[in-house]
Structure 1
Amino acid sequence: MLTGFANHHASEAVPGALPIGRNSPQVPPFGLYAEQLSGTAFTAPRHANRRSWLYRLRPSAQHAAWKLLCGAPDPDSVNFSRDQFGDAAFDAIPASPNRLRWDALPLPPVGETDFVDGLVSWARAGDPHEGTGCSIHLYAAGRSMEHRAFFSADGEWLIVPQHGALHIVTEMGAITVAPLQIAVIPRGLRFRVELPEGPARGYVCENHGAPLHLPELGPIGANGLANSRDFETPAAAFEDDDTPCELVQAFQGRLWTTTLGHSPFDVVAWHGNLAPCRYDLTRFNAMNTVTFDHPDPSIFTVLTSPSDTPGVAGVDFVIFPPRWSVAEGTFRPPYFHRNVMSEFMGLIEGAYDAKAAKAGGGGFVPGGASLHNRMSAHGPDAATHAAAGKAALEPVRYRDTMAFMFESRFVFRPSRRAMTGPSLQHDYDSCWQDFPKAQVPPPAEGGKA
């Protein structure tokens, strides 16, 4: 599981498959093969060390050489092509200081484009080659993966569904996540994505840095934000299937492929503290002000990947859930600000309290995204600002909403697809153009600059 959560988990699909009392017996039960999956360096401090032992039908090393993956089955279905993942997606595209916003990706037809072929890289902060920051991908899939599996050697995957459920089969068992839930898949763990409800769409944060964990609570105390008990790991389950399976991996910003002679999901038992997990965002216990002033968004942090600078994250995952607003004498929506951190936002459902969708299309919409890079001036649009300045300061309940943010100390570099595709909103800057100039009296003597 994740650092800061419960320390140890164990599961077996067949009674007696999991060795008890010693980690590496001379011959595992049933002739299974023991494998340690390490998510941190062997010498990482005990409180941060993550590894799990897997007991499987065959060694995972049993495969042919890897080859670069190129070409998608139907690139015209959602205007994707294979060079829109990883390093190739960022060729000759500079980081942009502009405020950026995008519409949602179109959903592909039923039966076209699985999860892997439906991935498109959208933005990157930091560097997967150096193990810093994160990459953000979007996915839009119309069919389940069949005889195909995927893993990332470049980072753990935080998957945020926006439309449609995902049934994620992993080496350590299966989890199903729907909108308003998230999944975290450890670096290197193989998985397959099935679509139990038809076409699906959402967001992925590929964390290249230190493993995600719960943030410290500081003065909040023992209770609040996300609770470790609400993160669920799967029960062991395995496939004894000798049908050939394509295995795709993300390695150093490229996709590589090989073929196995069997299903990779052949782990009969496992134990350890490195495992996939699911979290229900509606269980987040939001903290907020009950007197005055707008609080910083850090109080909405679900998971964090720390950097080498204390208090400055390689990536934070922050949500803006349904909640009460009761502050007195306060401008309640997010204030205008310029931030040393860079902010990539998405919307799962409803409307965000700083920017609403536009009548007739556009605006900040579910499935869409926005990017405000380091020191980019941003804040509420003109309509939101005007309404908030006149609103009665009585308790207000934000309902049926869930926005989120991937925030990083690094500058996000948008991909070629993000900057040239049809979903880019070219009029985003216009939402700040209708503010009237403040009227102040002439300065006192000596008050001129």
Structure 2
Amino acid sequence: MAGIKYLSGFGSEFASEDPKYPGALPVGQNSPQKPPYGLYAEQLSGSAFTAPRQDNKRSWLYRIRPSVIHKPFTKYDDSKYLTHNWNEQHPNPNQLRWQPFNIPLEKDGIVDFVNGLHTVCGAGDPCSRNGIAIHVYVCNGSMKNSAFYNSDGDFLIVPQQGRLKVTTEFGIMIVDPNEICVIQQGMRFAVEVDGPSRGYILEVFDGHFKLPDLGPIGANGLASPRDFLTPVAHFEDKEIKNFKIIDKYQGTLFVALQDHSPFDVVAWHGNYVPYKYDLKNFMVINSVSFDHCDPSIFTVLTCQSTKPGVAIADFVIFPPRWSVQEDTFRPPYYHRNCMSEFMGLILGSYEAKEGGFLPGGASLHSMMSPHGPDGGCFEAATNAELVPQKVAVGTQAFMFESSLSMKVTKWGEITCQKLDPKYYECWQSLKKHFNEKLKL
């Protein structure tokens, strides 16, 4: 979109000022006695002050009014299905699949991004800062005279249908399907849509997302830091009566009123920023001599736990790619895992589930619940000639993978009425092939 500008890089120190106000960024001192243009200096911290330098996250904002100018918070009841109550339902170890989640119709009235948040599953506790939640958003209208922020953790937003215009304190991001954006803890933002919109959200209560280590892959695989974009400073100086500031705090929404727009940051610098990434820029590695590469080779971002190599959450994609196989089974193998795997589909048809797994839907394979290709996929792949093949053309599937054992909410299991009771049937056609006289 014309007029939207970005800075590039990941985890670096950024600096930006509205080009109409040169010198708005103080030089050499973060909080001078009198900042340029009569602005206020305000720091947004995403880590403990004493965190090691490589982990220390903070940005300085130079704004027209400090964000402390608001009236007291009160309970906000317009979002009915956002929850962190994992005890609503009895645990369910079955393989679960959801048909595409409904987007509100015109007759339902205007539903914006915040009111359209629905929690599907999750684990842990935002109070102790350990855990995750998986939400979907379904909306048909833009946020008006309101802004949202999350005190509990970071949002990784995956649009599936509809473009998002995300206005943040740092500037504006345009996020299309097949792109993602991350809004980190405490950052205020508003979402405008240009029609019916739907997508997925991975929320982490622990730490922040980072690029995975590359190990023997070397310097140039997977997602490149330079392809992550953060907005250039852009502000509005507006007095708006009863502007709503909505805060998600300990899993509950609260609202405070103020008489001005919070998007009044004229300049900023730091390494704690919102950012976006285009999934088509991911550099895929996938040549197989035998067996099958683990999905970790498709990791875009990770939020690590305190155990080395174990993630609170990984964001993994399965993009279009050349699949070059030699004497091995091409699709994902049958599998039981000590991780939880939530999958979604942005567009196209997922290669291991050609039928009932649809864009805008989802699946959850919980810890140690077996899963893998359906019957038709197995038969076709077993008998296919192993020649180089372009797979997942016109498709983008993704996975939220977690070391935590997730529980499904009442909305996810009952209220949404999208759970497919026949999902298990996709494996029932798998035949017995054992023959004691048959030897390769």
State the SS of the aligned residue for 2:159.
Answer: strand
Q: Residue 359 of structure 2 corresponds to which residue in structure 1? A: 366
- How far the C-alpha of 1:239 sits from its partner, in A, is 1.1
1:226 lines up with 2:223 in the alignment: yes
Written as runs of structure 1 = structure 2, the 5 A alignment for 1:305-320 is: 305-320=303-318
The Cα shift of 1:422 comes to 1.3
Matched, 1:424 2:419: yes
Partner SS state of residue 384, structure 1? helix
Residue 18 of structure 1 and its aligned partner are, at CA, apart by 0.6
State the 1:439 CA deviation.
2.1
3-state SS, counterpart of residue 258 of structure 1: strand
Question: Match for residue 64 of structure 1?
Answer: 71
Please state if 1:397 is matched with 2:390.
Answer: yes
- Alignment of 1:433 with 2:438, yes or no, is no
RMSD: 1.5
Q: Distance in 2 between matches of 1:137 and 1:395?
A: 37
Instruction: State the one-letter code of the partner of 1:267.
Output: V
Listed one character per residue, the Cα deviations across residues 225-266 of structure 1 (whole Å, up to 9, x for unaligned) are 000000001010111111131111111111111111111111
Q: Secondary structure of 1:83's match?
A: coil
SS of equivalent residue, structure 1 residue 86: coil
1:98 CA drift (Å): 0.8
Q: Does 1:87 align with 2:84?
A: yes
1:327 equivalenced with 2:321 (yes/no): no
Distance 1:288 1:267 in 2: 44
Q: Which runs of 4+ in 1 moved over 6 A?
A: none
Q: Deviations over 1:24-46 (max 9, x none)?
A: 21111112111110011111111
Deviation at 1:435, TM superposition (A): 1.3
Match runs of 1:104-115 below 5 Å: 104-110=100-106, 112-115=110-113
Of 40, 54, 59, the residue aligned with 1:33 is 40
1:84 is paired with a residue whose SS is coil
Say whether the 8 Å CA contact 1:291–1:327 is kept in structure 2.
Answer: yes
* TM-score, with length taken from structure 2: 0.94
Distance 1:175 1:204, change over 3 A: same
1:300 maps to 298
| 1:415 aligned partner | 409
Aligned residues: 424
Question: Which position in structure 2 is the counterpart of 1:160?
Answer: 158
| Residue identity opposite 2:433 in structure 1 | A
The 1-side partners of 2:368 and 2:87 are apart by 24
Amino acid at match of 2:14: H
Q: Distance in 2 between matches of 1:114 and 1:154?
A: 21
Query: Structure 1: any 5+ residue segments left out of the alignment?
Result: 73-81, 358-362, 443-449
Residues in 1 aligned to 2:65 and 2:147: alpha-carbon distance in whole angstroms: 16
Which residue is equivalent to 1:204?
Answer: 201
Matching residue within 113, 133, 136 for 2:134: 136
Aligned-residue identity in percent: 52
2:14 is aligned with 1:9: yes
What's 1:386 paired with? Answer: 379
Deviations 1:191-212 (A, max 9, x none): 00001x3111000111111210
**Is contact 1:234–1:277 with CA below 8 Å preserved after alignment?**
yes
Q: Report how far residue 297 of structure 1 moved.
A: 0.2
Q: Secondary structure at the match of 1:159?
A: strand
Q: How far apart in 1 are the matches of 2:91 and 2:228?
A: 35
